[in-house]
């Protein structure tokens, strides 16, 4: 999802909002809970969805404000504010707080790009690449609790302790089952075990992606599930 550029300083100095032509190639997503709803804005359209149904609206204008933007359609008005927001369900955090009016009904939620978690504890991830090679399936995943990590990296299940400090992530001795698996699964597992044996640096290219890069070499790329 493309990032929404907010140009706040000139607007604050001018003390007024500016209008721009809608559908300028940017996209934006907002969502809320209780009730569940989402608004996806792209290519001049505003798509509204709930568990009970959805519809598409025409994006008529985009208006910059002092700390966000207002999107106006025929049936939907969405106002964003550059204030960190939690969805209250999965502990995901987002860049913006949003307020939507849909057919006169007012809704509140979060929007913009998701932010990196403040801690690994309570998060679950799908392993999507090991040393640059794409992988997929339920045999490739990792979960983190307060000081425990568990998962699978192609074949066997593993679990153990871990710590995170200023110098990076360090797993303790990992207990692992000893089942043999065909194909490249065993090689994937050995590669992940080698990386986790040493000190690991953590990087978040975006709020949904985690890179675990071994100081001694190797990389695990993960996509957030919870």
- Same domain for 103 and 131, yes or no, is no
User: Domain check: are 96 and 142 in the same one?
Assistant: no
Please give the residue that has the higher pLDDT: either 3 or 219. Answer: 219
Q: Are 88 and 56 found together in one domain?
A: yes
pLDDT in tens, 70-109: 999 999 999 999 999 997 777 789 999 999 999 999 999 9
| 150 lies in some domain | yes
The whole-model pTM stands at 0.78
Place of tokens 């804005």: 41
**Are 135 and 218 in a shared domain?**
yes
Which pLDDT score, from 0 to 100, does residue 81 have? 97
65 and 137 part of one domain: no
Among 70, 94, 114, residue at a domain's last position: 114
| The pLDDT of residue 185 is above 80 | yes
Domain shared by 127 and 107, yes or no: no
Q: Is the pLDDT of residue 215 over 80?
A: yes
Residue 149, domain CATH: 2.40.128.270
What confidence score (pLDDT) does residue 5 get? 31
One domain, residues 98 and 176: no
Is residue 4, in this structure, part of any structural domain at all?
no
The CB-based long-range contact list for 94-100 (8 Å cut-off, 24+ gap) reads 94/207, 96/30, 96/68, 98/30, 98/32, 100/30, 100/32, 100/37, 100/39, 100/76
Q: Are residues 90 and 24 in the same domain?
A: yes
Residue 45 within a domain: yes
Higher-pLDDT residue of 87 and 67 is 67
Residues 102, 138 within the same domain = no
CA dist 160 and 152 (Å) reads 12
* Sign of the CA dihedral with 37 first, then 74, 108, and 111 last: positive
**Cβ neighbours of residue 32 closer than 8 Å, sequence gap 6 or more:** 38, 87, 98, 100, 107, 108, 109, 110
109 and 130 in a single domain? The answer is no
Whether 2 is covered by a domain: the verdict is no
Residue with tokens 């706040």, as numbered in its chain: 8
What is the number of structural domains in the chain?
2
User: Is residue 20 domain-resident?
Assistant: yes
Helices (H), the chain: 9-14, 185-197
Supply angle C-alpha 93, 96, 126, rounded to 5.
35
Same domain for 105 and 155: no
Judge whether 1 lies within some domain: no
- What is residue 197's three-state secondary structure? helix
Q: What confidence score (pLDDT) does residue 10 get?
A: 30
Say if residue 20's pLDDT is above 60: no
Parallel, antiparallel or unpaired: strands 45-50 and 209-214:
unpaired
Give which of 123, 64, 61, 63 is closest to 92, Cα–Cα: 123
pLDDT for position 25 = 55
- Residue 13 placed within a domain: yes
Which backbone phi and psi does 185 adopt, to 5 degrees? -60, -40
| Structural tokens at position 214 | 């071994």
Query: Same domain, yes or no, for 133 and 219?
Result: yes
Query: Among the three residues 114, 145, 180, which one is the final residue of a domain in this structure?
Result: 114
| Cβ-based neighbours of 97, under 8 Å, separated by 6 or more | 80, 81, 83, 84, 85, 108, 110, 111
Q: What angle do CA 78, 81, 83 make, to 5 degrees?
A: 140
Q: Which domain holds residue 127?
A: 123-224
- Residue 189 belongs to a domain: yes
**Domain end marker among 114, 139, 174:** 114
Average pLDDT over the chain reads 88
Are the C-beta atoms of 27 and 1 separated by less than 8 Å? Answer: yes
């Amino acid at each position: 999802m493309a990032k929404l550029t907010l140009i706040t300083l000139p607007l604050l100095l001018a003390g007024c909002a500016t209008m721009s032509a809608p559908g300028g190639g940017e996209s934006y997503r907002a969502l809320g809970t209780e009730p569940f709803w989402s608004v996806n804005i792209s290519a001049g359209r505003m798509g509204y969805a709930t568990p009970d149904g959805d519809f598409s609206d025409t994006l008529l204008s985009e208006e910059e404000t002092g700390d966000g933007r207002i999107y106006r359609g025929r049936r939907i008005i969405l106002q964003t504010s550059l204030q960190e927001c939690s969805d209250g369900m999965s502990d995901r955090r987002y860049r913006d707080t949003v307020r939507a009016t849909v057919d006169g009904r007012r809704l509140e939620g979060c929007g913009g790009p998701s932010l990196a978690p403040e801690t690994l504890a309570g998060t679950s991830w799908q392993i999507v690449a090991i040393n640059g090679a794409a992988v997929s399936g339920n045999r490739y995943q990792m979960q983190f609790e307060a000081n425990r990590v568990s998962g699978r990296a192609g074949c066997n299940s593993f679990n153990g302790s871990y710590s995170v400090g200023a110098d990076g992530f360090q797993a303790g001795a990992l207990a692992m089952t000893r089942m043999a698996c065909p194909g490249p699964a065993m090689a994937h597992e050995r590669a992940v075990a080698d990386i986790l044996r040493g000190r690991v640096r953590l990087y978040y290219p975006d709020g949904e992606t985690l890179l675990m890069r071994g100081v001694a070499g190797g990389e695990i790329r993960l996509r957030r599930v919870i």
